[in-house]
Amino acid sequence: MEDIIEEIMRLKKERKAIILAHVYQPEEIQEIADFSGDSFGLSQKAAATDAEVIVFCGVRFMAETANILSPDKVTLLPAVDAGCQMFTDAITGEVRKARAEHPDALIVSYVNTPASVKAMSDICCTSSNAAAVVASLPRDKEVIFVPDANLGAWAEEQCGRKLLKWQGGCPIHGNLTVEEIQAAKARYPQALVLMHPECRAELCALADYVGSTSGIIKFAETNPADEFIIATEEGVMYELTERCPQKKFHLASRRLLCVNMKKTTLEKVRDALLTMEPQVVVPEDIRLKSVAALERMLAIKGETSCNVI
């Protein structure tokens, strides 16, 4: 393992590359990353870096976002088949239909969408700024929110405003049950529950804090409590224990595991830097249409900002 890490570090220097990793990535990938963080923090980094190559350790929509924001850089996605289960290819046609049926509505798309959906959107959001993005829109306009109905419901509650919500969702967060949260609370009665807004509303109602992965990490770090139940993908446990070694963290369910996020390996990162493949290139016409929606989002201050390490 040490040989591969050495090789990665050498190649990274040669290629003038930066390694970005989402906090759901395997531990050994987060360890070698230059920056790790949530989707919003990673988009900020991708937009601002002066590296020539971005090695994106995450899933495809995140690498596409990096390429949209930094088209002059080479974006590598070591795990070429890492997708997000929140949407299928059908989403582009369905959003096009919604656009036609509601010509005056504004479309807010979660960054967990393909570039073709961002290209039809007025503004993007991440889990860290969904409420701030919705709050920034004129109140007399109808707003379509795609694709995560749970995040949409969370933004609705925060902003006191109705949205037309597309009925998509994350199977990992969306399948977490009230019983699992109640069982964890019964087992660890002192612990605070920190939850991602991709979980269902009835579960969010049981949480002490709801926010993006960066928000969860920040809350655990700054809150005086020393025991927490974590209701998001298990990868965040690495950063939580790194930052707060004296505190206790319990994953709410062993099912909180995103297989796509675990497809990155050290070998794949090394090979990507060696061969400069697989690259993610968003076609220029789609890129030009989607960059505005992302830049509008980046201009809005959310609940948390970049949480780079």
Instruction: Note whether 213 binds ligand 13P by CB under 6 A.
Output: yes
The alpha carbon torsion through 89, 94, 99, 105 (nearest 10 deg) reads -100
What is the secondary structure of 96-129 as a DSSP string? HHHHHH-TT-EEEEESSS-HHHHTT-SEEE-TTT
Stretch that binds ligand SF4, among 84-92, 115-123, 180-188, 205-213 (CB under 6 A): 84-92
For ligand SF4, the closer CB: 260 or 305: 260
Q: Residue 260 binds what, of ligand SF4, ligand 13P, none (CB under 5 to 8 Å, by partner type)?
A: ligand SF4
Site mask for ligand SF4 (CB under 6 A), range 249-288, x = bound: ---------x-xx---------------------------
| Number of other residues whose CB lies within 10 A of the CB of residue 187 | 10
Q: Which of 113, 120, 3 is nearest to 59 (CA)?
A: 113
Centroid of chain to Cα 64: 12
For ligand SF4, the closer CB: 172 or 294: 172
- Looking at 86, 115, 117, 192, which residue binds ligand SF4 (CB under 6 A)? 86
For ligand 13P, the closer CB: 70 or 112: 112
Please report how close the Cβ of residue 82 comes to ligand SF4 at its closest, in angstroms: 8
In whole angstroms, give the CA distance from residue 163 to residue 23.
29
Task: Return the bridge partners of 187, or none.
Answer: none
Q: Would you mind telling me the total number of residues written for the chain in this entry? A: 309
- Looking at 170, 194, 204, 217, which residue binds ligand SF4 (CB under 6 A)? 170
> Which residues would be at the binding site for ligand 13P (CB under 6 A)?
38-39, 112, 126-128, 170, 196, 198, 212-213
